[in-house]
A and B are shown apart, each in its own frame.
Chain A
Amino acid sequence: MDYVKLINCMRCGMCLPTCPTYKETFLETASPRGRVALIRKLQEGELDQSERLLDYLSLCLDCQACASACPCGVNAGELVAEFTCERKSDSGLSFMETLILHKLVPHPDRLETSMAPLRLYQSSGLQKLVRTLGILKMFPKPLERMEGLLPPLPSRSLRQEINEVTPAVGKERGTVGFFLGCVMSLVFSEASRATIKLLSSLGYRVITPRNQVCCGAPNMLGGDLTGLKEAAHTNIEIFGSCEVDFIVTDCGGCGAELKKYHHHIDDESSSAFSAKVRDISQVLALHADELASLLKPLPLKVTYHDPCHIAHCQGIRAEPRDLLKRVPGLEYKELEAADACCGSAGTYNIAKPELSDRILQRKLDTIRESGAQVLVTSNPGCLLQLKKGLADQLPGVKLMHLTELLALSMSQYR
């Protein structure tokens, strides 16, 4: 790791009030400033790579709220992720990690097949039985949590169902490539359908290459840089051959990763790829007036939760709000601390359930205070986490992806 990145931290503490784990614990070791110091002292030889040190670093959600607050451009979240990735890649992958990252994630077909038992589990009524009998209490805690987070799965993934080319409605203004996030395609396929519908309605021909693969973010988390680069090469090649104006995604996590491909692969094609990547809200905002003319009244009180991967990692804040405010009859209510993490953070809610729950609770409290009927967000991790939280505590609040709400307003979509 580049030592200058570590000494750039001037320890001013501006990151502390934005850090979800510092706000919960008040511990310097659980703050961005503290994490940068821990890695720095490790590099300087003042500290050893102890279990405890790794434990402290593992508390980081990588929400990067600290990066948004830092006056000198230090990104503590990214530094911890980089450190963790390097360390894991040095120590090698475990059998399970190899299985998941090498045999499953890069192959959408296998990934989708692996979901089949889950679908059966849900549709057969077994899930209901298991929940009623509390059988999961007998299994390790993480399994119980994973089970609880899982919403009903669509019968088939969107990747298997969607046409590779969706024609533009009316006069064609351009072509976009649609990047299907794994979780969006598998779990929130309705939202991605809405995304494609919005794009085509605005005059875009939408190409959804069926052979595209996972963005590689899970590989990065697992310390598998080789896997990440392979995924990047595959996607760059596939989308590079499509001649598209933009590569659009409706997954905040994928968008943040795709925009960074040129950090991992230093060549022209990866820079060209990353430069074309847009979050769906960025493309819709380009045609906000035209979109507004297609929207029908939706008399709902709506609030918006900023996914970290959209607000902090991609710096997108205004576009989703502006789009929501364009919906006639919609009453927009700003959420307090809207850009604070919901505690999902990849697999954090499974790895650190107690802290994740406390962070989620803060989010749920602000949602309750907002009085909103609909909570909008645009990242599958947040959708999973908030769906569970709302179901438990605020069953009256409906959760929607940004594109689902816009598509609903555009037509009597559902």
Chain B
Amino acid sequence: MKPSLIDELKNIVGAPFALTDRESLAVYGYDSTPGLERLPGMVLLPGSAAEVARILRLCHGAGICVTPRGSGTNLSGGSLSAGGVVVQTSRMNRIIEIDEENLTATVEPGVITSTLHREVESRGLFYPPDPGSMNISTMGGNVAENSGGLRGLKYGVTADYIMGLETVLADGELLRTGGKAVKDVAGYSLNRLLVSSEGTLGFFTGITVKLIPKPQCKITMLAHFPILQDAALAVSAIIAAKVIPATLEFLDKVTIKCVEEYAHVGLPLDVDAVLLIEVDGHPAVIAEEAAAVAEICKKQRCSFFQTAQNAAEALKLTEARRTALSALARLKPTTILEDATVPRSCIAAMLEIIQASAKKYNVIIGTFGHAGDGNLHPTCLTDERDKDEIARAHAAFAEIFAAAIAMGGTITGEHGVGLAKKKYLPALVGESGIRVMRGIKQAFDPKGILNPGKVF
């Protein structure tokens, strides 16, 4: 980058918020994606939408790439530098408004997801998307990746809550889409298009989300299944009984073993699967739902079933699920967390394929995740210093993704394509899919300065 351009960018955000030193660039070279690093040319931390617009106008003119970044917790390399400037949104962290009459919240992109949760919940309202990284992930990042979470089955994902966006386009122009109107069919649904665009179509500077009333109560249950197929059948039977749990989480045998060895929460080592189920809503309704869940699990030959009687018990029941990632991650230095997703009727078949691939390539894969919506997290425990093992892990995942596509599923349920899954996308969306996406990219960003090289 030219020194004069660096100075101009520095002038926009102020010297303390423009980083060019080797050390800073080195630590902005990664996000949460294992094994991927890309050094940025410069890192900027703007404080306002106006500053973002000026940065983009300048970079557009100079032909410099811009990659938006929140807290850098992306799992597909999407927030890694595309060779130019990385723009971190953390300072733009104001909650602009919580509109209780229209049930909306409007935030800047750097607002932390769980901060918004706390603010709206203190008013009896609810913003359901709860990605695993919600304590640090930003709302801008959640929109760009269309983040999901544990509550996806009942409440949907980020896209289901986006009502309005303020987006700075590649050339620095402002685009406003949607708003607070519940119904809006004017023109193409650009909100929907911008959500999960992974920083390639625009830079979000304002986000208006839909809020719903906070569920009054919840009931937490835990079930152990000696046979995997029975757990999968229980999941299908619960949904078939017209109970939509807020949480329907699953741990496989490898994960159970790791959790038990690490946290000693009292899980038996001879079971194939553990289901954590939570129903929420009106007390009378959830009492009936909980009874139905209990009956189904017992009918599907669970070896253990417990319903929490109070908050302390509920916390204890959720412990195994909460420690799943920690327990797995401690086993070996490198953790590759994937998110292959299938229609939920295929979960048992998918789990069998994951275990067969792990065996075939001689790698350890523990699987946990959101059984209710088919979004599994096969997690490979490996060591980045063992190049051969890393190669085998990637070979196993290639098979797992191919199987997911064959079952009518997808290569990523909530982490995004970014750099890491680019090569798998054509097999999923086909030539026509890639062609349409390229056309859309061309319409938004003809010079290709916004996070180029990601997605496709």
Contacts and interface: CB of A to CB of B under 8 A. Distances in A.
Report if A and B associate in a common complex: yes
Interface string A1-27: 000100110111110110000000011
A14 B133 contact: yes
Contacts of A33: 27
Interface string A37-70: 1100100001100101100100000000000000
B24 A28 contact: yes
B73 A72 contact: no
A16 B329 contact: no
Nearest to B335: A10
A29 interface: yes
A37 B30 contact: yes
A34 interface: yes
A56 B23 contact: yes
Contact of B23 (A14, A52, A72): A52
B266 interface: no
A174 interface: no
A71 interface: yes
Contact of A16 (B21, B24, B71, B385): B71
B329 A10 contact: yes
Contact of A34 (B27, B31, B335): B27
Between A38, A52, A56, A72, the greatest number of chain B beta carbons within 10 A of the residue's beta carbon is seen for: A72
A26 B23 CA distance: 15
A14 B73 CA distance: 9
B441 interface: no
Contact of B335 (A46, A53, A72): A72
B133 A47 contact: no
A152 interface: no
Nearest to A48: B22
A72 B27 contact: no
Contact of B31 (A11, A14, A46, A52): A11
A73 interface: yes
Contact of A13 (B19, B88, B133, B330): B133
Interface string B19-52: 1011110111011101000000000010000000
A34 B21 CA distance: 14
A56 B28 CA distance: 14
B132 to A, nearest CB: 9
State which size class the interface on A falls in. 20 to 34
Contact of B90 (A26, A41, A53): A26
A46 B136 contact: no
Nearest to A4: B333
Contacts of A53: 23
A52 to B, nearest CB: 6
Contacts of B21: 52
Contacts of A28: 24, 27-28, 72
B24 A27 contact: yes
B442 interface: no
Contacts of A14: 133, 135-136
Contacts of B384: 7
Contacts of B34: 10-11
B32 A47 contact: no
Between A7, A8, A28, the greatest number of chain B beta carbons within 10 A of the residue's beta carbon is seen for: A28
Given A4-B333, A16-B136, A17-B136, A11 B26 contact: no
Nearest to A16: B136
Contacts of B218: none
Nearest to A18: B135
B334 interface: yes
Interface string B88-130: 1011000000000000000000001010000000000000000
B26 A47 contact: yes
A146 B21 CA distance: 33
Nearest to B74: A13
Contacts of B73: 12-13
State which size class the interface on B falls in. 20 to 34
Contacts of B335: 10, 72
A13 B23 contact: no
Given A10-B329, A14-B133, A16-B71, A37 B26 contact: yes
Interface string A73-91: 1000000000000000000
B23 A50 contact: yes
Given A12-B73, A29-B23, A46-B26, A72 B133 contact: no
Contact of A17 (B27, B31, B32, B112): B112
Chain B interface SS verdict (over half): loop
Contacts of A46: 26
A22 to B, nearest CB: 9
Nearest to B91: A26
Contacts of B135: 14, 17
A10 B334 contact: yes
A248 B31 CA distance: 44
Interface in B69-88: 71-73, 88
A41 B73 CA distance: 20
A311 B31 CA distance: 29
Nearest to A11: B32
A358 to B, nearest CB: 14
A53 B45 CA distance: 20
Contacts of B136: 13-14, 16-17
Nearest to B31: A11
B326 interface: yes
Nearest to A53: B23
B325 interface: yes
A7 B329 contact: no
Interface string B377-392: 0000000110000000
Nearest to B88: A26
Given A10-B34, A13-B71, A71 B133 contact: no
Contacts of B133: 12-14
A138 to B, nearest CB: 30
Interface in B296-353: 325-326, 329-330, 333-335
Nearest to B24: A29
A37 B22 CA distance: 13
A128 B19 CA distance: 45
Contacts of B329: 10, 71-72
B91 A12 contact: no
A10 B90 CA distance: 21
A34 B136 CA distance: 15
B326 A29 contact: no
A287 to B, nearest CB: 24
A41 B32 contact: no
A12 B19 CA distance: 22
A139 B300 CA distance: 77
Contacts of B88: 26
Contacts of B28: 28
Interface in B392-430: none
B220 to A, nearest CB: 22
A72 B384 CA distance: 15
Nearest to A26: B90
B9 to A, nearest CB: 17
Contacts of A38: 23, 26-27
B32 A12 contact: yes
Between B21, B23, B135, B330, the greatest number of chain A beta carbons within 10 A of the residue's beta carbon is seen for: B23
25 contacts: A10-B34, A13-B32, A13-B71, A13-B136, A16-B136, A17-B112, A17-B136, A26-B90, A27-B19, A28-B27, A29-B23, A29-B24, A34-B27, A37-B26, A38-B27, A46-B26, A47-B22, A50-B22, A71-B325, A71-B326, A71-B330, A72-B326, A72-B329, A72-B335, A73-B330
Top 9 A-B residue pairs of the complex, sorted by shortest distance between their CB atoms: A26-B90, A71-B326, A72-B329, A34-B27, A13-B73, A28-B27, A7-B333, A17-B136, A16-B136
Given A13-B73, A37-B30, A50-B22, 4 more contacts: A11-B31, A12-B73, A27-B45, A73-B326
